[in-house]
Amino acid sequence: MIRYVDLTGQLTLEDDEFYFAWYDTITDQFLSFAGQQTFSSWDDFMEAFKEYVRDEGPTHGYRDLSRFYGLYSRNIEAMNIYKASKVVGDFVQWAVERSRNEENKTG
């Protein structure tokens, strides 16, 4: 089974560069396309995937592109929801701290 792996922030918590990879649970290996295992966008992946199919031949291009896209789009949607909730959470935290600071000034 192929799994989408979000590598964003894996080196440091402050790292917000977007990277992802694909992991095959049957072979227990990260997948490699045209020598590349990490990708920064769908277009980046597509470029490597096309090169992989071109170099390995159509019979070796057994990996169904629609499967990758389905996993990618579901995870991107979830990540966008998470980012939005984090922004809202950060704003709420800021508002609470500001309110406390105002109370301390007047109290």
Give the structural domain span for 65: 2-106
Specify the residue for token string 């609470």: 96
Q: Is the dihedral of CA 20, 21, 24, 28 positive or negative?
A: negative
Q: What is the pLDDT of residue 36?
A: 95
Number of independent structural domains in the chain? 1
Q: Check: pTM over 0.85? Answer yes or no.
A: no
Greater confidence, 87 or 17? 17
What is residue 47's predicted lDDT score, i.e. its pLDDT?
93
State the pLDDT at residue 106.
Answer: 67
Give the pLDDT of residue 53.
85
Q: What is the pLDDT of residues 32-55, one digit of tens each?
A: 999 999 998 889 999 999 898 888
- Place 63 in a pLDDT band, splitting at 50, 70 and 90: low
- Asked if residue 4 has pLDDT above 70, the reply is yes
Can you list the pairs that 7-12 forms with residues at least 24 positions away whose Cβ atoms lie under 8 Å? 7/38, 8/79
